[in-house]
Structures are given as C-alpha cells and as structure tokens.
A and B are shown apart, each in its own frame.
Chain A
Amino acid sequence: MPGSSGRGELHPRSGENDMALDAERQRALIAQRHGGTTRRPWAIVDRDGFPYWLVALAVFLAWMGYRIATNDRYNEGAAFIDDGLITTVRITVFSFLLALGLGLVAGLGRIARNPIVRNVARTYIEFVRGIPILVMIFVVAFIVFTSVNGWLDRPNRSSSEIKFIVAIGIFYGAYLAEVFRGGIESIPPGQTEAGRSLGLSQRQTMRTIVLPQALRNMLPAIGNDLIACFKDSSLGTLLAVGEITHKTKLYGGTNFDYRAAYFVLAFMYLSITLVLSLLVSWYSDRLSAGRAR
C-alpha cells in the first residue's frame, strides 16, 4: 500500500481555485457546525472581505476578450478553436458523471461492513492514486480497451473520445470516492441511529438521512474536482480528441500563430473555470444556508 494517506493528499489535482474553495469549504463546515449563517451573494465575500481578486481576474479577462474580439488574427483563431468547446463540455460532463457514479459506489464500498467489498474499493482507489493521470489515459486507451474488446471478441473500434472519457472518469472516481467516504463519515452516528430506531432500513437511512447531509459537506470538494476535471479535459489532445486544446494545437500548427492560438485557449479555460468556481461557491452557500433541497 503506497503510504498512509493523509487528508491533505485527497486533492492532489489542484489548481488556482483551491484557495477560494478551501476557504469556502471550511466556512461551510463551520457554518454547519454553528447552525446556519446569513445568506450572502458570494460565500467568498464572507471570509476574505471584498473580492479584489475577482475584480482583478474579471478586468484581465475583459481585456483578453476585448483583444480577441477586436484583433483579426485572434478572432480567426477563436473561430477555429471554439468548434472544440462542445467536445470539451461533453467530455467534462460525461467523465464527471462516470466519476460521480464510481466515486459513490467506491466510497460506500470503502466503509462497507463486508471486508471483500472494502478491499475491492480500496484496491481501485490505491491503484488509481498510484498512477499519474497522463499514464492513466494511455493505460486505459491502449491496455484496458484493447483487452476488454479482446475478451468480448469485439473489434477494437471504440472512439478515442470514449476511451478518454472512461480514463478520466475512472481517475476522478477514485478521488471522489475519498470525498464521498469523508462526507459520509462526517455525519454523526446518532443520525444513523435515529433513522434505524424509526425502522428505516440501512439503505433508506443512507439515502434519506446520511447522503443528503453528507452532500452538503462535500459540495465544495466535489466542485473542486469538477473544475479540475474540466481542466484535465485538455489532456484529450494526447489521444487526438478534438477538444479545444487539440484544436488549438492544430490551429497553431497550420497557421504558425501559436501566440494567438494559446491566448485564445487560456482565455477560454480561465473564463469557464471562473464561472464554474463562482457557481460552486454560490450553490454551496445556498445549501449551507439550509433552505435548498
């Protein structure tokens, strides 16, 4: 087993959103513990005071957007690259849905009473955590898919996009499993006991009592992983999946205008990431304010 896994290791796939999200998560947990909080438009405002960083980023993005809109070369690059946006979004959505499913199953498996189930879940998690995402993508595309198609006696004709989605899904599933486990374990046992004492089955107790509460605690962490997953969709270029990073490489390579191409690409990632990050903050805040379902 590769080392004991401390809590800090849970999200090695981190990016520039982490500071804001960590603050937000802490705040949400504190609010939960101390019973509620007044609702504010952005959770981030509560802790760090006025969000100058947000203004700075917005100004920077506005300047980038203005350049792209007014400069013909940049404009032309953007028109080519944005064909890949749908693919990027599709990859993110499907791989993250797969990751959520795998994460829930593996997270529940991790705390199951049956030792076989526990060990299967642990094996999956540790296996994935022992492999860099880049290698994971090649392992899934060139080993897993080839083998599975071989066993099933099927021609190995799955599209690279499918292979890539599966690879990313398996990868993030392992990290989400730990998020789910932590979230479920953060709910006091008295909650389960109260549910069971009312005659609810274990499954009903999990579904109606533990998971809804755990989800609130986990939301910032899940959002964090969603954003990381979105950014990692850029690795699709390794399998020549036509998402925005790949489109950018193609554009730069044919027009020899790498400067314009990557300027546009950075703008796209940064703006989408910022929007996602704010959405996550806003939604977590709404949930921890207690009314939303």
Chain B
Amino acid sequence: MNELNDPATRSVPPMVEVRGLHMHFGSTYALRGVDLEVAQGEVVVVIGPSGSGKSTVLRCINLLETPTAGTVHVDGVQVNHKKADLNAIRAEVGMVFQQFNLFPHLSAVENVGLALRHVKKLSKRETAAIALAQLEIVGIPEKADAYPRELSGGQQQRVAIARALAMSPKVMLFDEPTSALDPEMIKEVLDVMLALAADGMTMVCVTHEMGFARGAANRMVFMDDGLVVEQGQPRELFEHAVEERTRQFFSQILKH
C-alpha cells in the first residue's frame, strides 16, 4: 500500500484517505480519480460547481455509495473492503445533509438519541443524558421535546448536527449544510460548525460559505467534472488560483 511509502503519513496516518476514487452511475461518471487526504483535526472545505462530484465524494467516505474503483480509508481502516463492518464504520463518520433529514416522527431529543440507543445500545437514561448534552452544545436544549416540523430550518440543522455528534464520530462530513436555509439562519449553523472546528474536530465540508472557509478551513479543495482540480490554503487559493477553472468559479460565486 502506497501510504506506507510516504514518510509523512507513516507517523500520523491521515484520518481520511481517498485514493484514485472512481464512481460511475451507469454510463455517467461522477468521479474520475479523486485523491484526498484529511489529517486528524484538519478542516477541509470542498467547493466546485454543481454536479462536479462533491456529494459523491462524501457519500463514498461513509459508503452511502460504493465506489466503482479506488480506496477509502478512515482512521487507517479501509472502508470499501468486503470484510469491513459497514455499520461500525458509519457510526464513526458523522454526516450532515443539505435537507437535514431529521426523523419527523421523533422529537429533537429522540432524533439525537436514536442511534445511541440502537447502535451503541446505551440505556434510556444514558441516551437521554447524552442527547440533551448534545442539544445544549448546539444551543437548543429548550427544543428537546419539539418535533422537527416545529423547528426552524436552522434549528433543524443544528439538531441534525447534534445527532451526528452524539455518536462521537472521528470525522464529520457536511454536505452543503446551509444551502437549504433562509439567509438569516445560516449564521447559527455556521457558528456551531466554527465551534466544532475550533474544538479540533476533523471535518470535510462541502460549502460555498467563503466566510466559513476563511475562518475555519485549513485547506480548500476545488473540484470540477469529477476531479480535484486544485487545492491550497483558502486565502491562497482565493487570491492566487493557478487554474483558469478555479478562477472562473470564484468569479461566478462572487457575483451573487
């Protein structure tokens, strides 16, 4: 395996390591050979035009999609391996969706507690305690008994983040977590993400919130057409992008 030859990764293996990732749906290609490494505690922001494969990369990391070719390692374990324990791996990778995907038949605290109860097999008391603590961390303990439809979009997304965090994941994946939100609610979600980043969480965030990228990201990755085109520190990429496609993309998102 090639990471063993790389002296930089031999001492501290990357938390997430994606190598030569290919993904196709029938005849359409979503990914055409993506390499991505995320170190422990690193915050990586992935940007790129719609359809460039950003979501697919995230979905391959926790195996919501099975890659056509390539390898994905999380904390040194190859996840797209026949013998991998899928459920155990997924429990260690938190995912936050654009559409929140809260469970509408469960209250906020039950949403957060569901996996604690059924995956970690915690007692009711432990589950309730952890779930409440997580809701406190995202700043809405008073909404514990509210159902998703009684919450604003921002509150729903914060519950979704709490739900993922409750499993104490090693890495958090965010797929456009603020894209479905009304503008006035974006900040409350970004604040939670910023706090999480400051706390040392390993994060891969697909987002076009450049303020967040500047404030929290160690690295920004630009994807286009199923490939990583360019990456670097946010400020550097922002001001001195080498690739024409990257510059073009920045000028497009800045117009809005």
Which residues of A are in contact with B by a Cβ distance under 8 Å?
Answer: 35-36, 188, 190-191, 193-201, 204, 208-209, 212-213, 216, 290
B220 at the interface (CB under 8 A from A): no
The answer to whether B90 touches A197 (Cβ under 8 A) is yes
Complex partner residue of A200 from B64, B104, B105, B118, CB under 8 angstroms: B118
20 residue pairs of the A-B complex, CB under 8 angstroms, read A188-B101, A190-B97, A193-B97, A193-B101, A194-B103, A194-B160, A195-B103, A197-B90, A197-B93, A198-B163, A199-B87, A199-B115, A199-B119, A200-B87, A200-B114, A208-B114, A208-B118, A209-B114, A212-B105, A213-B105
Say whether, besides A193-B101, A213-B105, A198 and B114 are in contact (CB < 8 Å). Answer: yes
B88 at the interface (CB under 8 A from A): yes
Residue of A nearest to B120 (CB): A199
The answer to whether A197 touches B103 (Cβ under 8 A) is no
Give the CA-CA distance A209 to B104 in the complex, in Å.
Answer: 9
B149 at the interface (CB under 8 A from A): yes
- List of A residues within 8 angstroms of B62 by Cβ: 197
Residue of B nearest to A204 (CB): B118
Give the CA-CA distance A193 to B100 in the complex, in Å.
Answer: 11
A273 to chain B: closest CB distance in Å? Answer: 30
B93 to chain A: closest CB distance in Å? Answer: 7
- List of A residues within 8 angstroms of B223 by Cβ: none
Say whether, besides A198-B167, A208-B114, A208-B118, A290 and B147 are in contact (CB < 8 Å). Answer: yes
**Contacting residues of chain B (63-83) with chain A, CB-CB under 8 angstroms:** 64
The answer to whether A198 touches B101 (Cβ under 8 A) is no
A210 to chain B: closest CB distance in Å? Answer: 10
The answer to whether A36 touches B149 (Cβ under 8 A) is yes
Give the CA-CA distance A290 to B146 in the complex, in Å.
Answer: 11
The answer to whether A196 touches B118 (Cβ under 8 A) is no
B95 at the interface (CB under 8 A from A): yes
The answer to whether B103 touches A209 (Cβ under 8 A) is yes
Residue of A nearest to B102 (CB): A194
B249 to chain A: closest CB distance in Å? Answer: 27
The answer to whether A197 touches B95 (Cβ under 8 A) is yes
Residue of B nearest to A213 (CB): B105
Give the CA-CA distance A204 to B87 in the complex, in Å.
Answer: 11
B164 at the interface (CB under 8 A from A): yes
Residue of A nearest to B59 (CB): A193
The answer to whether A197 touches B64 (Cβ under 8 A) is yes
- List of B residues within 8 angstroms of A200 by Cβ: 87, 114-115, 118-119
**Contacting residues of chain B (118-168) with chain A, CB-CB under 8 angstroms:** 118-119, 147, 149-150, 160, 163-164, 167
12 new A-B pairs (CB below 8 Å) besides A193-B97, A197-B90, A199-B115? A36-B149, A190-B99, A191-B103, A194-B95, A197-B62, A197-B95, A198-B114, A199-B87, A200-B115, A200-B118, A208-B118, A290-B105
Lowest 9 CB-CB distances: which A-B pairs, in order?
A: A199-B91, A198-B115, A194-B101, A35-B149, A197-B95, A190-B101, A199-B119, A199-B90, A199-B87
Complex partner residue of B87 from A35, A201, A208, A213, CB under 8 angstroms: A201
Give the CA-CA distance A208 to B94 in the complex, in Å.
Answer: 19
The answer to whether B149 touches A194 (Cβ under 8 A) is no
The answer to whether B149 touches A196 (Cβ under 8 A) is no
- List of B residues within 8 angstroms of A213 by Cβ: 103-105
- List of B residues within 8 angstroms of A208 by Cβ: 114, 118
- List of A residues within 8 angstroms of B160 by Cβ: 194
- List of B residues within 8 angstroms of A201 by Cβ: 87
Task: Write the B31-74 contact mask toward A (1 if CB under 8 angstroms, else 0).
Answer: 00000000000000000000000000000001010000000000
